[in-house]
Amino acid sequence: MTTTPQNDTGTRDLAAAFADYAPSVEGRDIVTIRPRYGLLSGGEERDARDGAVFATIDPSTGDHIAEVAEGSAQDVDDAVAAARAAYESTWRDMPGRTRAKYLFRLARLLQDRSREFAVLETIDGGKPIRESRDVDVPLAAAHLFHHAGWADKLEYAVPGMTGRPLGVVGQITPWNFPLLMVAWKIAPALACGNTVVLKPAETTPLTALLLGELAREAGFPPGVLNVVTGAGATGAALAGHPGVDKVAFTGSTEVGKAIRRATAERGTRLTLELGGKGAHVVFDDAALDQAVEGVVDGIFFNQGHVCCAGSRLLVQEGIADELLGRLRRRIELLRVGDPLDKNTDVGAINSHAQLERIRGFVEDAREDGARIHQTSRPLPERGFYFPPTIVEGLGGSEAICREEVFGPVLAVQTFRTEAEAVARANATRYGLSAGVWTEKGSRILWVSQRLRAGVVWANSFNRFDPASPFGGMRESGFGREGGRQGLQEYLRLEPVGA
């Protein structure tokens, strides 16, 4: 029996609150994986019209898992038409409390099958089962519950304003949190009365498809939630579709810019949650043990495949040797390996292409004269793995300090003063997350007010809750997910009485 820690609403604690629904997981035999999956359109599972498929593989071994329908522009068109019909015939005008019932039912079904979802997520994406089980699946359920609760209370979401749904929403999700990002997106959209065409990432489509199946089981009217699988071309067809009233995208900054152009052409509403290069700023008065754990969690959680990862460490000069010594010893203790092993800390890199990208950044840094520190433990022989890595001796202009690596790689710089720390932390085109580690409350305020990041954590990192808005600024995107702010992104607002 797990108890919920008091006075703290962070990720782990929320997970603890849902722990009864995320019991221990044994292995692969918990899930039945079919050799072939269709896309979900208009309440039916069917092949792509042209019969195209793509393969999804297990990154921990490189083995083929299943074939999945590759949706074409025509399939996107069909799904958008189904979503429009569902919007106009049922979902838009349904009382909020009835929409809520469907969402609550979906959330409960997800909890009932949480073990299966956790194992499937880990097989398809490579993340440690402990994370799928304790973070991704419980948080996905929490998002569905939270937004189900809003469906009949939308008049209170924005005081003084009446919110109406937008229509058909196109949502494109990434591979790093395949199920959780789907929940973040569909929950507010559906709660607000919109219908959805979802395009999950091509390397991790299976949990989105399973959630789509659960929506059918929960009795959602056909066409309310459509899942069109495929790669970039499928996503581009969705983002540029004239029948889509709003696009929500989470992924790379480059693709986000292309989507921004496509939606600007048509005046389609848009939210973008893009890349990041988050900095931990650790001052010499910080509680070092706590800071070490926060920094480790900030960059090695989910193999560093996290847009808000703390991929840069800015440490005050006086404690740099001590902190880095502790960090080097700490990463020796991280277990890298089979994602289905409950003791694994760092699982598989999501794809071969991503592994090559990470290697490229680290090799370039080595050539630039940086000092590379990696764990000495052997990596599995098969599959895509990269050791936890700390890169020191950097000036700040190197690519590894500027670009999003999206891997278990921490770039370290030092600073002397608060002003220098802020300047270094802000020396990035991104603006998603940051962390401040210090005992002084006044310093937390001074620094966090000056950091250009959508989310700033103080003496903690990677804490999420459905009630708190998440999102970026600058090249990390715009718009918020979660909280009342997240609901506003799916509503057309008018003054009350208008």
Question: Is 88 an annotated catalytic residue?
Answer: no
What's the Cα-to-Cα distance from 133 to each of 15, 25, 288, rounded to whole Å?
9, 8, 29
Applying CB under 6 A, does 239 fall inside the site for ligand ADP? yes
Report the nearest approach of ligand ADP to the CB of residue 68 (Å): 12
CB 163 within 8 A of CB 193: no
Report the nearest approach of ligand ADP to the CB of residue 174 (Å): 4
Applying CB under 6 A, does 199 fall inside the site for ligand ADP? yes
User: CA torsion 338→205→386→325, rounded to 10°?
Assistant: -90
Catalytic residue among 70, 192, 307, 475: 307
For the record, the structure tokens of 196 come out as 């959805």
Catalytic residue among 121, 273, 475, 481: 273
Residue 165 or 230 with smaller CB distance to ligand ADP: 230
Residue 76 or 157 with smaller CB distance to ligand ADP: 76
| Distance, CA of 247 to CA of 238 (rounded, Å) | 8
Q: Which of 17, 85, 158, 258 binds ligand ADP (CB under 6 A)?
A: 258
Q: Which of 259, 282, 299, 412 binds ligand ADP (CB under 6 A)?
A: 259
Applying CB under 6 A, does 295 fall inside the site for ligand ADP? no
Report the nearest approach of ligand ADP to the CB of residue 168 (Å): 16
Residue 174 or 294 with smaller CB distance to ligand ADP: 174
Q: Where do we find the tokens 């039912």?
A: 105
Report the nearest approach of ligand ADP to the CB of residue 356 (Å): 13
Applying CB under 6 A, does 53 fall inside the site for ligand ADP? no
Residue 274: which of 255, 253, 260, 292 has the closest Cα? 253
Residue 100 or 140 with smaller CB distance to ligand ADP: 140
Distance of CA 7 to the CA centre of its chain: 25
Residue 125 or 174 with smaller CB distance to ligand ADP: 174
Report the nearest approach of ligand ADP to the CB of residue 431 (Å): 18
The 10 Å Cβ neighbour count of residue 67 is 16
For the record, the structure tokens of 490 come out as 């799916």
Residue 314: which of 290, 279, 344 has the closest Cα? 279
Report the nearest approach of ligand ADP to the CB of residue 260 (Å): 11
Question: Is 307 an annotated catalytic residue?
Answer: yes
| Distance, CA of 37 to CA of 18 (rounded, Å) | 30
Which residue stretch of 89-97, 171-179, 185-193, 296-304 sits at the interface with ligand ADP (rule: CB under 6 A)? Answer: 171-179
Applying CB under 6 A, does 235 fall inside the site for ligand ADP? yes
**For every residue of 88-127, which 3-state class applies, written as one string?**
HHHHCCCCHHHHHHHHHHHHHHHHHCHHHHHHHHHHHHCC
Residue nearest to ligand ADP (CB): 235
For residue 63, which phi and psi values (nearest 5 degrees)? -75, 150
Residue 158 or 258 with smaller CB distance to ligand ADP: 258
Size of the site for ligand ADP (CB under 6 A): 16
For the record, the structure tokens of 315 come out as 């440490």
Q: Based on the number of CB atoms within 10 Å of its own CB, is 334 exposed (0-12), middle (13-18) or buried (19 or more)?
A: middle
Which DSSP category does 435 fall into?
Answer: E
- End-to-end CA, the chain: 52
Interface residue list for ligand ADP (CB under 6 A): 172-174, 199, 201-202, 231-232, 235-236, 239, 251-252, 255, 258-259
Could you list the active site residues? Answer: 273, 307
